Each structure stands twice: as C-alpha cells, then as structure tokens.
Amino acid sequence: MWLYLTPSRRLLSLRRSLIQYRSITLENSARKAAVDKVISPFRSICGKDNVSLGEAIREQHGKDESVHRCRPPDVVVFPRCVEEVSALAKVCHDHNLPIIPFGTGTGLEGGVGAVQGGVCFSLRNMDQILNLHPEDFDVTVEPGVTRKALNAYLRDTGLWFPVDPGADASLCGMAATSASGTNAVRYGTMRENVMNLEVVLSNGTVIHTAGKGRRPRKTSAGYNLTNLFVGSEGTLGIITKTTLRLYGVPEAMVSAVCSFPSVQAAVDSTVQILQTGVPIARIEFLDDVMIDACNKFSSLSYPVTPTLFLEFHGSEHSLEEQVSTAEEITQSNEGSDFQWARDAETRNRLWKARHDAWYAAQALRPGCKAYSTDVCVPLSRLPQIIVETKKDLLESRLTGPIAGHVGDGNFHCLMVVDPNDPDELHQVHLFTERLARRALAMDGTCTGEHGVGLGKRVLLCEEVGPLAIQVMKGLKDSLDPRNLMNPGKILQRGEL
C-alpha cells in the first residue's frame, strides 16, 4: 500500500509510523511485564495445565478461518467454569491486559486475532449442555458446545437447533458473531434465537442479560441487553452461557433444483415464492461460474446457468403443496430442469453441488486460497447488485464464483486468490471494498453474517454513520472503559 503514496506523503507516513512504532514498543514491554506477573495467579485459578505459553498453542489461538494473518496472544488460558472466567478476567483487568474470547476458531473475519497481544480465553473446557426443557423448546449451553454436538444430544427429543452457518461452530461463538446460515429464511439468525446470555464483563462481573435462568418466549422487560451482546464479537464481554430457542425436527424434507436463463429470473422466482407464503426452508443461488466449478469438481452435469437450490420442510401433505406451488412459480419465470427428491440419499446427491461449493471454488485454481465476501441487500436490489458485481469481476479479471442465500438477499463471492501475488491480493481487496460500497448504496449492509472483525471497521462507519458509531463507542466505554475486551475489532482505534 505504501508504494502507492507520493514521496511527501511517504515521508509523513514514515514519521507517523516511527512514532507509532516507539509507542507500540513501549506498550509491548509494559505488556510483557504484565504478562509475567499474571502467570502465577492464572495457574492458581484454573490449574497449571490450563495455562499455556507454548508457541504452538498460542498460534492456534491467534487465527481463525479467514485470510487475516495469525496474531497470537501472549498466553492462553482454559477456564473450566464461569467462576474461573470471572477470576481470570479480574486479574487481566487489574493488569490492563487485553482479553480475547475463543470458541472454535471458525470465524471468517479475523475476530480472534490478538492485535495488541494479551490473554486468550479458550472456552472449550466449558462444554456442558444444561437445562434442556423440551416442552418449552429451550436449552442452555456453555461455550464449548458446538452446533452439531447440541443437535446430536437432542436427537431423541424431536427437537433441533436449525441455525447452520456451515462450520461446526461454538454456539456461544455464533451468538457473539450473530451468525446466520442457509435456513435463516425460515428459522431466523442468532438474533432471533438467543433468549438469554450469561456474560462476564471486562472487570469480572457476571451478568445475565435477561435475568438468571429466565426463558420466557417473549419479554418487554427493560433494555434488550441480550441482543446488545449478540454480535458484539467479544468486544463487550465473554459469553459463558447462551439460552437458545429450539424447533421441532421437520417431519419430512424435500430438496429441489431449478435452472434459470438469468439472475433476474432466479431472484424473481425467489421473491414470488416468499410472497405466496411458502414457508421455504432454504433457497440458495449459485451463479453460472459456480455451477461450472461444481460440475467440474463433483462430476455433475447441471446446465451452466444461474441455478436455485431449494429445500422444503413440513408434513407430507404440506410438502406436496409447497413443492407444486414453487414449481409453478419457477416455470412461470422460465425455470427449467426442475428436479426434486424426497429420500435422504437423493436429496444429498441433488444438493451435493451446493455443499461442495467452497471446495469446488478453490479447485478452480489449485494452490490458491479462498476468501468470501458477505454483503446483504433488500431482495428487490439483488438482481442489480449481482449483475454489477459479475461485471466488476470480469473487468478486474478476478475469479469469484457466487453462492448466495437469496431468500435473505445475502450472497457470497468466493474470491479465489493466489496468496503469493500481492498485486492480485490488492485487486481483491479493492474489489471487496467496491462491492461493500455498492451494497451500502442499495440500502444494504457490508456484512450479512460474518461480522465486522478486523477487515470491515471502516465500512461499518460508512454503513451506520458517525452518530451511531458515537453511540456504539459510548456503550463500549461504559461496559469496557479500559478497552480490554478484544481490542481492535468492530470499532477503530481512533474512535475510542
């Protein structure tokens, strides 16, 4: 980036860097001294085996599944219960050490990078499923419980937790990033499905956002603290318990695939299906580049054209109705090759293309890494933004097959990029900024599911505006005055 500045700008930038470097070095040595002091109290709180200074462990806990480089913490602790989390947080608070909560490390925005070093709280030892109430459709889980583990536990009860971001993520981590997934169109995202949280604040205080143990299906009691912490990405507190809304396992499922002559036709079908009130469970869009990649990767032979993958949940009777309504709509929008399947094996085969999309994209250019964009716009603007984005991809000569949750207006360009080519990396970076701004110009958001993390802080300011950012800053100051909770994420340094 530095090479693109003029010589005088370079000098100014150099001077600023040197000053920053001096202050960072001072910060670093102060921090290292603090870290040395806390190791012994840490050990007495959670046991010697649960405090790690090892390089490999620290590196494991300094990165996630994004393209952001590893930023290891100074030390990793593995508390076993909320009392230990609180005690450890107090110690960090007393020594001004950053606190970074860590679930499964499956995030996509660099949220766990310890940009100012500090203490990573790996919560994997807190893995209990507590207080399942099948008649009330709720359950409380600790941060070490992943989505698949919960659904395996629930399998005999006829209940499930449907939010499915793809990875087998920690449920509390999903709450922290306000995760979503392929069936958000029917079941909602984490925002709609978290009923209560137990949170440890930066000074060790333990709060219950909706009151301890409370789980009414609805409430109008006081400020909505639960949804303040959902999506806070570890910058306001450590989530140590989440109470989740459960749903009945669908009696039956039908999957379908349909090809369309254009993006517009596919999106029009989506809008109409939703408007007729079909309670569609999943509606996924793959563009022609993506379908081509999937055909090559999984040896399939779908027509290379915009395609919709649909999934319906319900009773046998309602499924017949849903599928026939959807088929009519797709036909009226020039959809073709409508195939559907009822039994698990054929359904999996139909959807295989969608399931393998990530790998198929990477297989287009072996040796390259994949980075996913994440914008979300109102449904009516989706055809326009996809068409403009595809044009941009062609003009920039970038590889970016598109897969999207069209039912939500959310789509991902899976940018396949050579990590050793700085020019291409730069082009991708500029492209993603243009894409985000395109979405913002269409009343949308720069991040539908993945969060702000490290890479979208500037875009967040553009999205919500300076006044809302001031309010966010005020909340952050009040809950975490020393800026110890996951510093460097969501809000920028200059704003604090």
Partner 1 sequence: MSGRVLVGVKRVIDYAVKIRVKADNTGVVTDGVKHSMNPFCEIAVEEAVKLKEKKLVKEVVAVSCGPQQSQETIRTALAMGADRGIHVEVSGKDYETLGPLQVSKIMAALAKKEDAQLIILGKQAIDDDCNQTGQMTAALLDWPQGTFASEVTLDGDKIKVVREIDGGLETIKINTPAVLTADLRLNTPRYATLPNIMKAKKKKIANVKPADLGVNLTSRLEVLKVEDPPQRQAGMKVETVEDLVGKLKEAGKV
Footprint of partner 1 on this chain (CB under 8 A)? Answer: 149, 152-153, 155-160, 248-251, 315, 344
Residue 350, CA distances (Å) to 96, 155, 250, 269, 345 in order: 53, 24, 19, 19, 9
For partner 1, the closer of residues 151 and 272 by Cβ is 151
The minimum distance between CB 231 and partner 1, in angstroms, equals: 29
Q: Round to whole Å and give the CA distance between 127 and 170.
A: 10
The radius of gyration of the chain's CA atoms, rounded to the nearest angstrom, is 24
The minimum distance between CB 144 and partner 1, in angstroms, equals: 12
Query: Which class for 453: exposed (0-12), middle (13-18), buried (19 or more C-beta within 10 A)?
Result: buried
CB 197 within 8 A of CB 242: yes
Query: Which class for 212: exposed (0-12), middle (13-18), buried (19 or more C-beta within 10 A)?
Result: exposed
Q: In 3D, which of 407, 378, 404, 351 has the Cα closest to residue 185?
A: 407
For partner 1, the closer of residues 314 and 488 by Cβ is 314
For partner 1, the closer of residues 225 and 249 by Cβ is 249
What are phi and psi for residue 115, nearest 5 degrees?
-65, -25
Q: Round to whole Å and give the CA distance between 68 and 174.
A: 19
What are phi and psi for residue 335, nearest 5 degrees?
-75, 150
For partner 1, the closer of residues 186 and 412 by Cβ is 186
The minimum distance between CB 283 and partner 1, in angstroms, equals: 22
- In a 13 Å sphere around the CA of 330, the CA atoms on its Cβ side amount to 26
For partner 1, the closer of residues 32 and 342 by Cβ is 342
The minimum distance between CB 152 and partner 1, in angstroms, equals: 6
The minimum distance between CB 50 and partner 1, in angstroms, equals: 17
For partner 1, the closer of residues 55 and 156 by Cβ is 156
Sheet containing strand 194-200, strands side by side: 129-133, 138-141, 238-245, 194-200, 206-208
Provide the greatest CA pair distance for the chain.
Answer: 72
The minimum distance between CB 181 and partner 1, in angstroms, equals: 18
Amino acid at residue number 465: G
Strand residues in 186-290 grouped as ranges (E): 194-200, 206-208, 238-245, 247-248, 252-259, 280-286
For partner 1, the closer of residues 153 and 358 by Cβ is 153
The minimum distance between CB 7 and partner 1, in angstroms, equals: 51
The minimum distance between CB 134 and partner 1, in angstroms, equals: 9
Q: Round to whole Å and give the CA distance between 370 and 355.
A: 16
The minimum distance between CB 437 and partner 1, in angstroms, equals: 44
Give the CA angle between residues 169, 374, 196 to the nearest 5°.
45
For residue 477, the tally of other CB atoms under 10 A from its CB is 12
The minimum distance between CB 208 and partner 1, in angstroms, equals: 25
For partner 1, the closer of residues 1 and 56 by Cβ is 56
The minimum distance between CB 250 and partner 1, in angstroms, equals: 7
Q: Is 202 helix (H, G, I), strand (E, B) or coil?
A: coil
For partner 1, the closer of residues 247 and 371 by Cβ is 247
List, as one string, the DSSP characters of 100-142: EEESSS--SS-TT--BTB-EEEE-TT---EEEEEGGGTEEEE-
The H-or-E segment that residue 89 falls in is helix 82-94
The minimum distance between CB 342 and partner 1, in angstroms, equals: 12
For partner 1, the closer of residues 37 and 155 by Cβ is 155
For the chain, the residue count is 496
Strands 99-102 and 119-122: parallel
For partner 1, the closer of residues 32 and 155 by Cβ is 155
